[in-house]
Structure 1
Amino acid sequence: MWLFVAIFVVLGLVGTISPRASWVLSNWWKVEGDAQPSSISLVLYRIGGIVFLLVGIFLIYRIV
């Protein structure tokens, strides 16, 4: 169970702190060349990161 919590927290931190890195990690195989994410895509990745982080924190409190 702690593995899932760690995955949620790490993905949440990456998505919240650097949504561009999260975009690259999830889309590196789809694009060729120097593709850049749109601003709305970065906002959505940041929101997703916050949700993942909140789920990770919630799971920590449920386990402990």
Structure 2
Amino acid sequence: MFFFAFLFIVISILNIIFPKIGWYLKYGWAVKGDVEPSDAYLLMSRVMGVIILIIFLFVFLPNM
């Protein structure tokens, strides 16, 4: 359980700091040419990363 929690926190923090990596892993490989994610996508990815991390910290970590 500790490994899962640690992995989840690391991935969430990476998504907050480097949201383009997630976009390239999910969509970027399927698109040909020089395509970048929109600013709105990057902002929403960061916001959702923060929200999910906060929920995880308050719900799952006290139960460990």
Q: Same fold (TM over 0.5)?
A: yes
Gaps of 5+ in 1: none
TM-fit CA distance, 1:61: 2.3
TM-score, with structure 2 as normaliser? 0.71
**What do residues 5-60 of structure 1 show as CA deviations (whole Å, max 9, x unaligned)?**
12321221011112222222222332222210011101111012112322332322
Count of residue pairs the alignment pairs up: 63
AA matched with 2:28: W
> 2 CA distance for matches of 1:33 and 1:25?
15
Partner of 1:39: 39
Greater length-normalized contact order (CA 8 Å, ≥ 6 residues apart): 1
Question: Are 1:60 and 2:61 counterparts?
Answer: yes
1:12–1:51 contact (8 Å) kept in structure 2: no
Q: Which runs of 5+ in 2 are unaligned?
A: none
Q: Percent identity?
A: 30
| Higher gyration radius (CA) | 2
Q: In angstroms, what is the RMSD of aligned CA positions?
A: 1.9
TM-score, normalising length from structure 1?
0.71
